Structure 1
Amino acid sequence: MHKPLHTLLAAILILTGFSASAQELRATVNVVASSVQNTTDKRVYNTLQSAIKDFLNNRRWSDDAFAPAERIECNFLLNITAEVSSGTYRANLTVQATRPVYNTNYTSTLFNFQDNNVVFKYAEFQSLEFSDTRVAGSDPMAANLTAVLAYYVDVILGLDYDSFSPRGGDPFFKKALNIVNNAPDGKDIAGWKAFEGNRNRYWLIDNLTNVKFARFHDVMYQYHRQGLDVMYDDAARGRGAIINCVNMLAAINDDVPNSMLLQVFFLAKNEEVFRIFNRATPQEKGRVSQLLASMDVPNANKYLQLK
C-alpha cells in the first residue's frame, strides 16, 4: 500500500511534463564530538556528517516517487561520546521526523527518539554502504552504522505512511524487522536483541509489527488524517477523532501496560496533545485528562491541568 498523496502527485507531475524526485527524505544531519579528546584529526567528523547526509538523502528508500515538496523533514543528530579504539566510535543518535498538517503551516512531530547504543567503525572518506539482503556486510562494526540509519529511515517512513493511509506503513515496518533479524553482531554491538534492554530497536519494531498493537496503526491514521488534517475546517470534529484515538491508546495500554510503543508516541506527541485539549470543552477535558495521565506518567501533571 502506497501513500495516496505521493502517487497522485507523481501522476500529475508526469502528465504535466515534470519529473518527480525519487528521494523520500530531506534530512538534516549533525555529527558532534565535543566530549571526545583523543582524536588526532577532527576532520573525520565532517566527512562522516557529509557521508550520512548523502546516505539518507540521495538513496531511494521506497518504490514511490516523491516531489521535492513531499520529502519528509527529519533530523539526525549523532553525538559521538567516545573513540573506543582507532576509528571505532561510541555514540548517541537522536532521530526526529515531522509531518505537515493539511491547510496549515504547522508540522506535527511523528517521531522523536534517542538511541544510546550506537557503536561503529568509520574511516575518513569511507562510503556508506547498505543492502537489505546483506545487512551485516563483511565487517559488522562498519555495517552497524548503516544498519542503524536504515532502520530508523524505515521506521520514519512507516509512521509517515501510516499517517496518510490505513496500514500504509506495513511494508516499511517489515523492512525494519528484517534489519533487526539480520543485524550486525559483535561483543560491543547492542540494541538489536530482546535481552539487551526493554527500550531498544528490537522492542520498538516488535511493537510496531505485533498484532497486539494493531490498533496503534489505526490511531496513527485517525489522529493525523481525521484529526489534525480536519481541524482547520472543523476543530470540534478533528478533536473528536483525536478523543477516539486516546480511547484506542487506552485500550492498548490496558492490554499491554507500559509498552515502548506508547512511550515513543507520547515522546513525540505530549505537547501537541496537551495544546489540542487545552482548547477543548470542559466535558472533553474531563474525558481525556485521566486517560492521558495514566498512559504518559512522565507528563501526568501536565494532563491533569486540563481539568
Structure 2
Amino acid sequence: MRNIVLVLACFLSIATANSQELNALVTVNADQVQSTNKQVYSTLEIALTEFINQTEWTNKTVKPQERINCAFTIIVSNQSGNNFDASIQVQSTRPVFGSTYETPVLNINDGNFSFRYNEFDPLLYNATQFDSNLVSTIVFYVYTILGVDADTFALKGGQNYLKEAERVMLQAQQSGISGWQNQVGSQNRFELIDNFLSPKYATLRSIYYNFHRNGLDKFSSDLTNGKQQVELSVTQLEQLFNKDVGNYMIRVFLDAKSDEIVTIFTDGKESRNQQKMATVLQKIMPTQGNKWRKIE
C-alpha cells in the first residue's frame, strides 16, 4: 500500500508540474536607481519567476517541451520606499514545425508600469478583484502571451485567454491607474486587448494564424508556398492601416516580426509578390524604411 501511495504521489507531482504553461525568464534591472538595498530587486526577480512559472494558468495538461518560452524585462527608473516606477518589456516565441527555430510572436514595450512591492510579500492573484498593479500587469501579459500563442496554431484559438486578459484589464481599471484606462491616442494595456478582441481588427488574428501555421510551419515541406503565405499575411496588414493610420496593432505585430521578415525575404529566390509586400511595408511603417529597402 505504501508503494502505491508513493507512486500516486509521484504521478500527481508530475501531472502538476506538466500543467504549468510558461517557461519565463524574468529580469529586473535597477541600474538607473540609487538605492542602498539592491537585494529587493533580486527578491522581486525570483518571486516573479516563481509566480509566472509555477502558477497553473489554464486547465490544459502541458508537457515540459510544450511550455511557451517568454521573457519579462522590468527596468526600474525610480524607487521611493516601496513604490517603483518602471517599464516592462514582454516577449514570447513559439517553435516552428519541422525545425529547431523559435519564431518571435510578441515583443511589447510598456513604458507605463508603476507598482508597490514590499520585499518578501507573497505575490497573490485574486481573480475577482484588483489588489496589486504589479500582479495584475503580470497576469494580463501572461494571458496575452497565451492568447496570441494559441492564435498562431488555430484561427482565433486564443479567444478564451484574451478574454481573460480583458477581464484583468476591466478589474484593474477600477484603480484609476493610467495604463489601464481608455484614453484617446494612448498605446496602453486597454488599447492592446481591446484591439485584439475587436471585430474591427479581426484581420490581425487571421494574420497571426496564416503567418505562422500556413507560412512558417510549411517551410520544411514546401518553402515556396510557405513564403507566399507569409508574404500574403504581411501584405494584409495594409487593411489594418486603412482602418486607422498609425494603428497600434501594426506596431505590435512588426515590433516582433520585422527582422524576421527581412531575413526571410533576403534569403533565396525572390517570391512572387515580394515587391508589393515591400511597398506595403514602406507605406504602413515608413520609420523602418531602411529595413524594407533590403527586400525591395
What's the TM-score, normalizing by structure 2? 0.90
Q: Is the 8 A contact 2:97 2:218 kept in 1?
A: yes
Q: Give secondary structure in 2 for the equivalent of 1:97.
A: strand
SS in 1 for 2:289: helix
1:33 matched to 2:30? The reply is: yes
Displacement of 1:299: 1.2
Deviation at 1:185, TM superposition (A): 4.8
Q: Distance in 2 between matches of 1:107 and 1:240?
A: 20
Q: Equivalent of 1:228, from 212, 216, 220?
A: 216
CA contact (8 A) 1:110 1:268 kept: yes
Greater mean alpha carbon deviation, residues 163-172 or residues 297-306: 297-306
Separation (CA, whole Å) in 2 of partners of 1:31 and 1:196:
30
**Aligned equivalents of 2:115 and 2:181: distance in 1?**
17
TM-score (ref. length: structure 1): 0.87
Task: Tell me whether 1:73 sits opposite 2:61 in the alignment.
Answer: no
Percent identity between the two aligned chains: 32
Report SS of the residue matched to 2:114: strand
2 CA distance for matches of 1:201 and 1:173? 12
Distance 2:97 2:272 in 1: 27
CA contact (8 A) 1:21 1:66 kept: yes
Aligned to 2:53: 57
Q: Distance in 1 between matches of 2:271 and 2:208?
A: 25
- The 5-angstrom pairing of residues 112-191 of structure 1 reads 112-134=107-129, 136-137=130-131, 143-183=132-172, 185-186=174-175, 189-191=177-179
Indicate yes or no: 2:98 matched with 1:103: yes
Aligned-partner residue type, residue 29 of structure 2: V
Contact map agreement 2:152 2:209 (CA 8 A) in 1: yes
User: Aligned to 1:102, what secondary structure does the other structure show?
Assistant: coil
- Structure 2: which 5+ residue stretches go unaligned? 1-10
Q: Which residue of 1 aligns with 2:258?
A: 270
Q: Does the C-alpha gap of structure 1 residues 239 and 282 become closer, same or farther in structure 2, counting only changes over 3 Å?
A: closer
Deviation at 1:226, TM superposition (A): 0.6
- The aligned residue for residue 11 of structure 1 is none
Q: Distance in 1 between matches of 2:287 and 2:59?
A: 39
How far residue 244 of structure 1 moved from its aligned partner, in angstroms, is 1.9
How many corresponding residue pairs?
282
2:179 alignment partner AA: G
Counterpart in the other structure of 2:274: 285
Q: Which structure ranks higher in relative contact order (CA pairs < 8 Å, sequence separation ≥ 6)? A: 1
Which ranges of structure 1 fall in alignment gaps of 5 or more residues? Answer: 1-13, 138-142
Q: Give, in whole Å, the separation in 1 of the partners of 2:150 and 2:235.
A: 22
1:200 aligned onto 2:195: no
Residues 227 and 240, structure 1, Cα contact 8 Å, conserved in 2? yes
Cα distance in structure 2, aligned partners of 1:303 and 1:240: 17
Correspondent of 1:300 among 272, 289, 292 = 289
Shift of 1:174: 0.7
